[in-house]
C-alpha cells in the first residue's frame, strides 16, 4: 500500500488541473506543465487531485506514489516555483551571466560558457569575501535539478580541500591529507 499515493494533492488558488486521456496538464501563474501517466487513475474532485489504482499489481504499486509526487511537484512549481543554489568554492572560481548564458571560470585554461533553457532563470551573486553563488529558478523541478547537476558536474567537490561546485547547505565528507 502506497502511503504517499493515498494522500490527496490540494489545488491552490490560481492553479487549474485538467486530465485528458492519459495526460495531466497543470496551469498556473508561472507557467504550464504536462505529464503523461499510465496504469493509475487520476481524478480532480473538490479542489484536490486524487491518484488511485485499480489493482494491486507490482507495476501499479510502484507508480501510485510516483505520479502523486509528480503532480504535487507540478502544482508547487506553477504556483511557487523551484530554486536550486550552487556555491563555487575555490580560489579564482567565478560565475557571471548575461541573460540565460552562464559563464564559469573554474580553474581550467578556458571559461565554460553554458546556454540554459528559456524556462530556467539564472542569477549570479558575487559578494566580496564570500564564495560566488549561482541561483537557478524555474517552474519545472526536474529541469532545475538537471541543469544544477550539469553545472555541478563541471567541477565536483573534492574531499581533501572541498574545492569545486557544491549545493548550498550540502555537507561534504572530508578526508585527512597525508600524515608525515
The domains of the chain, with CATH numbers, are 3-79 (3.90.930.12), 82-167 (3.90.930.12)
Q: Which of 33, 122, 29 is nearest to 73 (CA)?
A: 33
* Rounded CA separation 34/48 (Å): 17
Going by pLDDT thresholds of 50, 70 and 90, the confidence category of residue 89 is very high
Going by pLDDT thresholds of 50, 70 and 90, the confidence category of residue 1 is low
Q: Where are the alpha helices (DSSP H) in 17-140?
A: 58-79
Cell numbers 488541473: residue: 17
**pLDDT tens digit string along 92-116?**
999 999 999 999 999 999 999 999 9
Apex 32 CA angle, 153 and 43, nearest 5: 110
Per-residue pLDDT, averaged over 11-26, amounts to 93
pLDDT at 2: 58
* Rounded CA separation 143/117 (Å): 9
pLDDT of 63 above 60: yes
Q: Are 49 and 42 in contact (CB under 8 A)?
A: yes
* Rounded CA separation 73/45 (Å): 18
| pTM confidence score | 0.89
Per-residue pLDDT, averaged over 147-164, amounts to 95
pLDDT of 56 above 80: yes
Amino acid at each position: 500500500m502506497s502511503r504517499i499515493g493515498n494522500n490527496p494533492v490540494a489545488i491552490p488558488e490560481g492553479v487549474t488541473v485538467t486530465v485528458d486521456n492519459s495526460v495531466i496538464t497543470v496551469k498556473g501563474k508561472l507557467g504550464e506543465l504536462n505529464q503523461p501517466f499510465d496504469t493509475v487513475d487520476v481524478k480532480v474532485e473538490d479542489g484536490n487531485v486524487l491518484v488511485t489504482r485499480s489493482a494491486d499489481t507490482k507495476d501499479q504499486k510502484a507508480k501510485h506514489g510516483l505520479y502523486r509526487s509528480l503532480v504535487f511537484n507540478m502544482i508547487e512549481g506553477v504556483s511557487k516555483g523551484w530554486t536550486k543554489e550552487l556555491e563555487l568554492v575555490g580560489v579564482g572560481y567565478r560565475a557571471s551571466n548575461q541573460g540565460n548564458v552562464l559563464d564559469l571560470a573554474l580553474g581550467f585554461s578556458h571559461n565554460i560558457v553554458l546556454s540554459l533553457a528559456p524556462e530556467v532563470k539564472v542569477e549570479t551573486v558575487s559578494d566580496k569575501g564570500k564564495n560566488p553563488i549561482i541561483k537557478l529558478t524555474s517552474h519545472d523541478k526536474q529541469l532545475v535539478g538537471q541543469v544544477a547537476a550539469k553545472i555541478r558536474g563541471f567541477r565536483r567537490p573534492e574531499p581533501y580541500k572541498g574545492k569545486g561546485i557544491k549545493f548550498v547547505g550540502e555537507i561534504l565528507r572530508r578526508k585527512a591529507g597525508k600524515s608525515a
